[in-house]
Amino acid sequence: MVNRNVGFNRNILLPWLDAAAAIAGERSDPTWLRCKLDPIVALEIASRENRRKAIDILINIWLKSREFVPALREEAVERFQTISDPSDRLWLHYGLTLLYYPFVRDAAAAIGQIALHHDTVTPALVKQRVAADRGQLGSLAIAVERILYSLRNWNVLSVSDRRYVYVPRRGAFATADVGLQCWLLACALRAHPAEELPFPDLPRLPELFPFRYTATVEDLRKSPCLEIQRQGSGWDSVRVVDRLGTLSET
């Protein structure tokens, strides 16, 4: 089972994720990765302990995710090295984060659900929605704050003219790389509690609210990570080929 602990306990900046991805592509050694990331994160975090926690998250996303989704993680590393549009990197960071941190997926889904009916979200609304699903965890409130800060830094949320009121950027990110679209859809499905979903429901998952898709079911058939099955009712069901693997409880 995937670790359902909150885990995401520090603000994570987009340049750090870019650095972690680039370094992880050179060598799959957590100690070496930590040494390389430490001076980068130290520019923003003076505390050694807080810096360690932030780097833990970066290592989990870009290195330890290989422990339970090796194919998706390896594809992410390869794609990062060859990506031509820097804005496409967010698709990779977002997908691996959803995979490793179920709490982030829950919070992003809550934001996406709220955004269906409202133009803005607040921390209180997101906390209320997540607590309804998970219960009142002691670390829930601060974790939601960390996630909201990170999503603002990633340009997934915009600030408004009111304090603590944010605008979800629905469909703000598009890519001409259909393979990248399929990869993120595979990540979202792998992170989802369901074993499979109807194709029309997959790109409409609320946690994918920042992204815009053009991929067709035929495009998904070409993905080595996805399997498409035609159901008797005439609709196509999508599942991840390999759902094996677990996260450690660290």
pLDDT of 184 over the 90 cut = yes
pTM across the whole model: 0.93
Region 26-52 average pLDDT? 97
d(CA 73, CA 213): 21
What's residue 233's pLDDT? 76
Region 28-48 average pLDDT? 97
Region 193-203 average pLDDT? 94
Banded model confidence at residue 111, pLDDT cuts 50, 70, 90: very high
Could you tell me which of 120, 109, 133, 132 has the C-alpha nearest to residue 201? 109
pLDDT of 236 over the 90 cut = yes
d(CA 136, CA 133): 9
pLDDT of 245 over the 60 cut = no
What's residue 249's pLDDT? 34
* 62 neighbors 94 (Cβ within 8 angstroms): no
Burial of 223-246, coded b for 16+ CB within 10 Å and e otherwise, reads bebbebeeeeeeebbbbbeeeeee
Banded model confidence at residue 175, pLDDT cuts 50, 70, 90: very high
What's residue 5's pLDDT? 61
What's residue 152's pLDDT? 98
